Amino acid sequence: MDEHVIEALGKAKIIIRDGKIVSLGEPMIKYCPLFHKYRGIKELNKKTIRENIEFRIRDFGMCTPERELRMRDFLSFGVSEIISTLLEEDLIDCAVMVCEGAGTVLITEPEFAQGVGGRISGVIKTSPIKRIIKELGEENVLEPKTGRIDQSMGVKKALNQGYNSIAVTVADAEDAVKIRELGGRVYIFAVHLTGITRKEAETFFQNADIITSCASKHIRYIGDEKALFKAGYSIPIYAATKAGEKFIKKRIEKIGGLKEKKNPPLPYPLI
């Protein structure tokens, strides 16, 4: 029996066993403009969250052996899209990401970066699924037997394997600190930040290169004041370093620019 714990759609905690939802918590927010735009979800609640998660399980096999891992570029704008572009343009040679059924994994192909990170965020705990691990490459998975999630250990693995320009996604501020202390050309992407504290937000801006705002009021406040660059309107992404700014601008260039929005909808509430 495999079990996967994710946080999604307003950071609701969801437990999936053998392809079935067995537990579904309350979301931290009621409205997300991205899910409204792309999935028509006007309110995040247990009913709409269940429907969306069941759709993902059916559509691309989320948390099952049928998981579709490759995904082409849809010219949207987010962290997985930026990382995919960086791999495609050879600005990085590896990304340390998290995939359900595998845990921490090293990604070197743009379509894997998009398929792993673009379709699901907030994997808290997972257990190994052999077919997923086989397709990603057992040698690329941090702990194939356990599905362990440990981003700092993933970066160490990447460095030990000879990669020298590495992107890594992190959702925990202390992980960002640990990874920054490793040195090297490691670029930190902070994700899944709804509901974090002011102190955690400050830590991310001190250590990460790119920070996505999600529904965080603290990220927006600090980012609008301190970031070197900001892109996006409803859910802005901030660059805290020159490298981060370069990476965001590279993605904007690839998709032909960002269209300015008047009165863009925001997540509600910002927390």
Tens-place pLDDT, residues 204-254: 999 999 999 999 999 999 999 999 999 999 999 999 999 999 999 999 999
Location of structure tokens 């579709």? 68
Tell the burial category of 5 from Cβ atoms under 10 Å away from its Cβ (0-12, 13-18, 19+).
middle
The pTM of this model reads 0.97
Return the domain boundaries, the chain.
1-64, 70-254
Location of structure tokens 């990085």? 92
DSSP class of residue 233 equals S
pLDDT, one tens digit per residue, over 48-102 is 999 999 999 999 999 999 999 999 886 588 999 999 999 999 999 999 999 999 9
DSSP class of residue 21 equals E
* Residue-level pLDDT at 258: 86
Type of residue at 97: M
| Cβ pair 104, 79 in contact under 8 A | no
- What's the whole-number average pLDDT of the chain? 96
Task: Give the CA radius of gyration of the chain.
Answer: 17
